[in-house]
Structure 1
Amino acid sequence: MESAAVETTRGPLGLKGHLAGIIDVLGAHYGARPWQSRGRPVDVLIETVLSQNTSDVNSHRAFRALLDRFGSLEGVAAADVTDIEETIRLAGLSRVKSVRIKQILERLRAEHGSLNLEFLLNMDVSAARHYLTSLPGVGPKTASCVLVFSLGVPVFPVDTHVYRVSKRLGLISRNTSLEQAEAELEAMIEPTDRYRTHLHLIEHGRLVCRARKPSCHQCVLAEICPSAFTFDGSEATAYSPRREAQ
C-alpha cells in the first residue's frame, strides 16, 4: 500500500509535475551544480567504499591517509592488508574495508593489467553497473557514484539523505527499498537533471530535512511537501535506512 505522502502528490499535475516543482525550487535555492570529475574511477571507487557507514570527512581522511602512506593506489594494491587496515581505521569497519579494498585492487590488476577503469565508458550503463557490483563490497550506490562522479554518466545514486528526503516529499513510497528507490528516481528524473538534483537533495537533507527534527519552518519546499510540519521528533528514524546502501 502506498504512503499518504505519495497519494497527496497526485493532483492535477501528478507526480511528474510535483517532481518538476521540486527540481525548480531546489535549483533556485541552492544554485547551479555544473559537473566536475572527482578523479579517476578507481579513486572514486575506493573512497566510496571507505565512505560506507561513516561520514564524508572520515572517508576522505582515510583515503588521503592511504595515499600518504603508500604513495598511490598501486602502492595500496601491493601493501599488506593489515597495514591497510591500520591506515584506514578512522573510517570505521577497517577490517572489512581493508580486505575489500585489497581484493578490488588485486582483481583489477589481474583482469586488466592496471587500475584503469576507463573501459567502463565503452559499456552501456547496465553492463558497467553489473561489472562494478561484481567487485567485493560494491553495491548499487557505490557503482552509481563511480559512474556519475568520475565518468559523468548521468545516473542517480541514492544515499541516506536522498532516500529520506524523497520519501518525505512523496516521490517514492515508504516501503520502497534503497535499490528500488534508485531505479524509480532515476527513471523519473531527466538525465540532464540527475547530477544537480542528487546534490541538491543531499544538501537539503543535511541542512534542512534532517533525520531528526527537520526544520520545516525553514524549508523552501514546505508549501509542496506532503510531510511538512508532520513530525513529532521521533518519526525520523522510520525514514532513515539502518545502513548506508553500498
Structure 2
Amino acid sequence: MPDPDLILITKLAETHRRLGELYGLPVWQPHGDPTAQLVATILSQNTSDVNTARSFRALVDVYPDWQAVVDAPEQELIEVIRSGGLANQKAPRIQSALRHIYEERGDFDLHWLADLPVAEARVWLTQMPGVGNKTASIVLLFALGRPAFPVDTHVGRVCRRLGLAPTKASADKVMAIIETFAPDDWFYPLHKNFIQHGRTTCKARKPRCQGCVLRNICDSFR
C-alpha cells in the first residue's frame, strides 16, 4: 500500500516546482522589524494590501514611536487608521498588543523572538488579543526570517483543493501539515505563490481549472 506521507511529499514537491516555474521563486529577505510587522498585519485583517499600506503609512506619519500609539486616545487612533477598514476593532487591538509587549518586556522590541523555537515564539505572540497563528507566523516569517508558514484564505483554499490538506481542514491544520512536510526554505515561496495562484487561478467562486498548471495533480479537478 502506498505511503500517504510519501504521496503528500511528492505532490507538495511537484506543486512547489510548477508554481515556481509559473510565478518564479520569491527570494526570502526578512526586513527585520517585527513590531512594525505585527501592527501592519493587524491592520491587514479583512482588507486589501492597498488599504493596509495606506493605514499603516497614516499611523507612522502621525505617531513618532510605539509609545505614542499606546498613549493616543483610542478614538484618535481610530480616525488615523480608518482608511484600512474595521478601525473600531483594529485600533484597540493594536494598542492592546503594544501594551502587552511593553508590560512583558519593558520595551517594544520583538527581535528576541528570533532566538526562540518557532512554536514557542508563536505561542508568545498569540497570547495577545487579536493575534492568531496566521498573524504570528507572518511576523516570524517576514520580519524575523523564521520558518513559519502563514495560512490565509487563498493558501488554505489552494491546499485543500489540491489535496495537500483535508477538504475541511482548519487554517491551523493546513499550517501544521506544510510545516511538517515542506523544507523550511520552501515556506516563503510556497506562501507567496499559493496566494498568487489563489488570486489569479484557483479563485473561490470561479476557479480557472482548465488553464491551471496543477490540474492533473489536483484532487478537485474534474
Fold similarity call, TM over 0.5: yes
Aligned mates of 2:90, 2:75 — CA distance in 1: 11
* Amino acid in structure 1 at the alignment position of 2:95: K
The structure 1 residue matched to 2:34, chosen from 37, 41, 64, is 41
**Which has the higher mean CA deviation after the structures are superposed, 77-86 or 151-160?**
77-86
Paired with 2:10 and 2:143, the residues of 1 have a C-alpha distance of 31
Q: Secondary structure at the match of 1:24?
A: helix
1:33, distance to aligned residue in structure 2 (A): 1.1
CA positional deviation for 1:72: 3.4
AA aligned to 1:209 is C
Task: Name which of 145, 153, 166 aligns with 1:160.
Answer: 153
How far did 1:99 drift? 0.6
- Which of 75, 84, 88 aligns to 1:82? It is 75
Runs of 4+ in 1 over 6 A off after TM superposition: none
Q: Which runs of 5+ in 1 are unaligned?
A: 1-8, 231-246
Instruction: Name the CA distance, whole Å, in 2 between partners of 1:163 and 1:130.
Output: 21
AA aligned opposite 1:52 = Q
Tell me the equivalent position of 1:25. 18
How far the C-alpha of 1:10 sits from its partner, in A, is 7.9
Q: Distance in 2 between matches of 1:10 and 1:18?
A: 13
- Residue 62 of structure 1 aligns with an amino acid whose one-letter code is S
Letter in 2 for 1:186: E
Which of residues 112, 115, 130 in structure 1 aligns to 2:108? 115
Distance in 2 between residues matched to 1:191 and 1:133, nearest whole Å: 21
Name which of 60, 67, 71 aligns with 2:64.
71
Structure having the larger proportion of residues in helix: 2
Question: Mean Cα displacement is larger for which, 27-36 or 137-146?
Answer: 27-36
1:27 is displaced (CA, Å) by 1.0
**1:121 aligned partner, one-letter code:** A
In 1, the alpha carbon distance for the partners of 2:57 and 2:66 equals 11
Which letter maps to 2:107? Answer: S
Q: Over residues 204-240 of structure 1, what are the superposed CA-to-partner deviations in whole Å (9 max), with x where a residue is unaligned?
A: 1111111121112221112222222x4xxxxxxxxxx
TM-score, length basis structure 2: 0.93
Summarize the alignment of residues 1-246 of structure 1 with structure 2, pairs less than 5 Å apart.
Answer: 14-228=7-221, 230=222
Q: Secondary structure at the match of 1:158?
A: coil
Distance of 2:153 and 2:23 partners within structure 1: 19
Task: Measure, in 1, the Cα distance between the counterparts of 2:3 and 2:220.
Answer: 14
Instruction: Tell which deviates more after alignment, 165-174 or 34-43.
Output: 34-43
Q: Percent identity?
A: 44
Q: CA deviation at 1:75?
A: 2.4
CA distance, structure 1, for counterparts of residue 67 and residue 50 of structure 2: 23
Write the distance in 2 (CA, Å) between the matches of 1:215 and 1:200: 16
Using the size of structure 1 for normalisation, the TM-score is 0.84
Q: 1:47 offset after TM fit, Å?
A: 0.6
- Cα distance per residue 1:187-218 (max 9 Å; x no partner): 11111211111111011111111112111222
For the residue of structure 2 that corresponds to 1:197, the secondary structure is helix
Shift of 1:39: 4.6
How far 1:113 moved relative to its partner? 2.4
* Paired amino acid for 1:53: N
The DSSP-based 3-state class of the residue aligned with 1:163 is: helix
Q: CA RMSD in A?
A: 1.8
Q: Secondary structure at 1:21's aligned position in 2?
A: helix
SS at match of 1:71: coil
Aligned residues: 220
- Shifted more, 14-23 versus 30-39: the winner is 30-39
